[in-house]
Amino acid sequence: MQKLLLSITDYPELPNTKLVYFEGDFDGYAEDTITELQTTIDQAGPGSTIIFEFSKLNYLNSFAIGQLVAWHNAMNAKQGKILIVGINKNIEDIFSVLGIESVFKTYNNLEELKAGQQG
């Protein structure tokens, strides 16, 4: 098991956007780690975008899924969105089995996301 690490930064390539890098395992042990991310989501303005970069995310469980859905709902309530890049096959399969793959727009990488948001 690898402790979850998060890095939150502005993403200047797109307006009103934050980029969050996830690394490790997203499970119940990550509760303290996600406090800063929760604050970022709580403080996001109307129409904001938050990009979750999952290329180094190894694992997520039901706690993580619950958080992701709650964050999606919070952003949706303020006409914002969460986009996911770098999703691996394991996490893609989890999303599919749970039927939430349609909740989150996913991209292979940041370049694909940027092209899709600008085009």
Quote the tokens at residue 79.
């006409």
User: What does the pLDDT look like over 4-42, one tens digit per residue?
Assistant: 999 999 999 999 999 999 999 999 999 899 999 999 999
HEC-encoded secondary structure of 44-56:
CCCCCEEEEEEEE
User: What does the pLDDT look like over 41-51, one tens digit per residue?
Assistant: 999 999 999 99
What is the C-alpha separation between 119 and 115, in angstroms, rounded? 6
Q: Which residues of 87-105 are buried (b: 16+ CB within 10 A; e: fewer)?
A: beeebeebbeeeeeeeebe
Residues forming a β-bridge with 46: none
Q: State the pTM of this model.
A: 0.94
Q: Is 38 left (phi over 0), alpha (psi -120 to 50) or beta?
A: alpha
What is the C-alpha separation between 87 and 93, in angstroms, rounded? 10
Quote the tokens at residue 22.
């996830």
pLDDT of residue 37: 96
Give the chain's largest Cα–Cα span.
Answer: 39
Domain spans of the chain, in order of start: 5-118
Q: Top-level CATH class of 5-118?
A: alpha beta
Q: Are strands 49-60 and 17-26 parallel, antiparallel or unpaired?
A: parallel
